[in-house]
Amino acid sequence: MLRLLSWATAYSNRILNDKIIPYVFTLSDSPMLFRDLLKTNKMYQDGLKLEGNVPGFRFSVGKSYIVFIILWHIAMLPPAALFHAKLVKVDCHLLIIMAVLFTGMFFAMYAIFKEYLIDSVAHHILKRGWENHFPHFNYELHATEVAKIYSEALEKEIPHKEMQLYILEKLVEGKK
């Protein structure tokens, strides 16, 4: 069962990265600026809303609705087909209430889906920018540490020209 679950997770991540993200987003080829990387990494590590704050991508709302509607139908058609015979016999007033609830659930799930897509792309862009500016440090190991160092540097009012040197020195000190 665990093997099947890991296969399904890997397959869904591959579809997300290879099909959905390139369809919904337009990603920039230009490298991320260092100060943008630090600011975006700090926001990502703090769990803040990233929509509109991550440079390097454009989000297509129409295409995201198309993808979400396809995924919604894939998820909702089997239960609807299974319970169709019972739903035919239900009172129309109850069906109206159910339609309102399903409509609300549709838009709530779309908002969650949209945030998930934006977080996935932001993580991808951050990792790509990280490889450019911090090639000798692993992103997963040092991202939270860099966010803390960046906060300290902002508190100490270190100029942006000296920020990269300051952060690299603190990272090297922490490695020893």
The full set of domain ranges for the chain reads 8-133
For residue range 69-116, list pLDDT tens digits in order: 999 999 999 988 998 888 888 888 888 998 999 999 999 999 999 999
Token digits of residue 52: 């509109």
Report the C-alpha dihedral over residues 74, 80, 82, 84, rounded to 10 degrees: -150
pLDDT at 4: 65
The full DSSP string for 98-118 is HHHHHHHHHHHHHHHHHHHHH
- The most distant pair of C-alpha atoms in the chain lies apart, rounded to whole Å, by 71
Distance CA(147)–CA(76), nearest Å, equals: 41
**118, 131, 167, 172 from 36: Cα distances, Å:** 16, 14, 14, 22
For residue range 108-151, list pLDDT tens digits in order: 999 999 999 998 898 888 999 899 888 888 888 888 999 999 99
Helices (H), the chain: 2-15, 21-24, 34-46, 61-88, 92-133, 139-155, 160-175
Find, among 101, 175, 115, 102, the residue nearest to 145 by Cα.
Answer: 175
